Amino acid sequence: MLKSSDTVKRFTDKPLLAEHGFSALVDLRDAGIRILWDAGVTRIALLENAERMGIDLATVDKIALSHGHYDHYAAMTDVLEKIAVRPSVREWDADATIEEMENWAKGRSVPFIAHPHVFRERWKISERTGKKYGPIIIPREDWEAAGADLILSEEPYRLGPGCWTTGAVPRLSLESAGIPTNLAYRKGDEFIPDYLEDDQAIVINVRGKGLVVLSGCAHSGIVNTANYAREISGVDKVWGIIGGVSPGTIERGGYSVRG
C-alpha cells in the first residue's frame, strides 16, 4: 500500500513500467514485516519499479508465491539476489565466532512460502492439435542457491500478526474459476489435467476495517477465496480485494460473497 498521495504524484513524472505479470509488496508496518507477493516476469520491470517507488528489496523479510505460473515467478531468482544481499563490510565484536562469520558471508536466507505443487512439471497442450509444449519447471535449485528458505504448505501459514496465506482454497462455489483447459502436469509418463491446486492468496485483517484479500490470479475462484479467507481468519467482513481475478463463469444460478 502506498504511503501518501505524494508517492502517487511522483509516478506521473516517471511512470512505472508495465508488463504481463504481477508482484506486490505487503508492508505490515506495525509489525515491521515486509512481504513480497510474487515476482512478475522480468527483472527489468520489477527492479526498476522498486527503485522508482523507493523500495529497498533488501528490507523484504519474507516471500510468498501465489501459484506456479511464469508471470508470477519468472523474475524470482534476480529478486532473491537483491533480497538476500549482504553488505560488503561489517564490524564484528571481539567474541564473534568463525561460524557466525561464515554464515554471514553466505548471505541471509529468506523464508519463502509456497504450495508444494508449484514445482510440478507443467505443460501446455494445443486444444486443436493435441501437441504438447513444455516442460515448464520452476528452477527450485536456483531459488535455494539464491537464498530461498522454502516453506511448502498446503495449509494456511501465518506471515505476521493478522496476516496469513490461505494455502489450498476449497472450491465449493459454482465458479469455474477461470481454469484453463489446455494445461497439464506430468507424473511419470502420464499427463494429468492441471487444476492449479497450488493457487493461494494472502489474507490481511486490517484493524477497524475487515479483511483485505490479496490474490495472485484467484484460479480457485474469487468467491471461494474470499469465503475461505473469512473461515480461516474468523473475521466476517471483507473490506477489499486486490490482485488478479482470472475470468470464470457461473454454470447455473448465482453466487456471491457478502461483507
Q: What is the pLDDT of residue 3?
A: 44
Backbone angles phi, psi at 11, to 5 degrees: -70, -20
Q: What is the pLDDT of residue 251?
A: 45
DSSP assigned state of 57: G
pLDDT digits (tens, 9 = 90+) for 73-118: 999 999 999 988 665 666 778 888 888 777 666 667 899 999 999 9
Which is it for strands 62-64 and 33-37: parallel, antiparallel or unpaired? Answer: parallel
Side-chain-side CA neighbours of 248 within 13 Å: the count stands at 24
Residue type, 43: R
- Reported as a pLDDT band with limits 50, 70 and 90, residue 239 is very high
Determine the Cα–Cα distance for residues 191 and 123; give it in Å rounded to an integer: 8
To which residue does cell 522454502 refer?
A: 150
Backbone angles phi, psi at 51, to 5 degrees: -65, -45
The lowest-confidence range among 43-52, 149-158, 174-183 is 174-183
Higher per-residue pLDDT: 252 or 68? 68
Is the alpha carbon torsion for 166, 171, 172, 173 positive or negative? positive
Give the domain ranges of the chain.
5-243
- CA-closest candidate to residue 245, choices 203, 211, 215, 206: 215
pTM of the shown model: 0.84
Q: Which CATH number fits domain 5-243: 3.20.190.10, 3.60.15.10, 3.40.190.10, 3.40.50.2300?
A: 3.60.15.10
Asked whether residue 173 carries a pLDDT value surpassing 80, the answer given is: no
- CA-closest candidate to residue 56, choices 77, 30, 87: 87
